[in-house]
Structure 1
Amino acid sequence: MIVISEEALSVIARVTDHPKLECRSGVRIAPRSAADGKRRLEVHAVNGPGAGDRVLERDGARLYLSPEAADRVAGCELDARTEPGDRVQFVLRR
């Protein structure tokens, strides 16, 4: 399973609580195909889980993991850092 740092949990909670999103909103990690053919993981806000997603909820913050992403992030820690301009960068650490 994935471990979520306090900073990442805080960011996910802020996204989850956004008033313009649905009541099941959260952050989803899923693969996307890159131009080089590699399948990289992407993190984005969603209104709810996708089909087959694992749902992790803690203190009202919801993280959805696609089946492929769940396998790839097992044993990792999800962290977040805020960059200039309030841009958030999620980081996976083994």
Structure 2
Amino acid sequence: MLTLTANAAQAIRDLTATAPEPAQSGIRISSEGEGASALTLSLATAPEPADAVVESDGARVYLDPVAATVLDDKSLDAGADDQGSVSFLVTEQGM
């Protein structure tokens, strides 16, 4: 199952703090196009019916079935640049 670093959990909590339903809001990672050639990340107020839900330290990530398979052994990290823009990075677990 996808894991979240402390940085990723904090970034997700920051992004969803002003959402209409912060108690259920998170980010959703979904596949785009044929197969798993591209994954997209968006804010979501709740999971879709088939989504896997990853929760860590108050942060929620919703994964569509393809994304859940692709990211099963991965970790999600986050960082911010000098302007405060957040970027997410997928790494191998344990790195």
Q: Shorter-chain TM-score category?
A: 0.7 to 0.9
The TM-score with structure 2 as length reference comes to 0.82
Q: Which residue of 2 aligns with 1:82?
A: 80
In the alignment, the residues of structure 2 paired with residue 64 and residue 70 of structure 1 have an alpha-carbon distance, to the nearest angstrom, of 9
Structure 1 residue ranges, 4+ long, deviating more than 4 angstroms after superposition: none
Structure 2 residue 6 is matched with structure 1 residue 28: no
Larger helix fraction of residues: 1
Task: Report % sequence identity.
Answer: 32
Equivalents in 2 of 1:39, 1:10: separation in Å?
Answer: 28
Q: Contact between 1:21 and 1:47, CA under 8 Å: does it hold in 2?
A: yes
Give the TM-score normalised by structure 1: 0.83
- Structure 1 residue 12: Cα displacement: 0.9
Q: Which residue of 2 aligns with 1:93?
A: 91
Q: Deviations over 1:43-93 (max 9, x none)?
A: 111111112001122232111111110000011110011123221111101
Shift of 1:38: 6.8
Question: Secondary structure in 2 aligned to 1:84?
Answer: coil
Listed as ranges, the gaps of 5+ residues in structure 2 are none
Structure 1 runs not aligned, ≥5 long: none
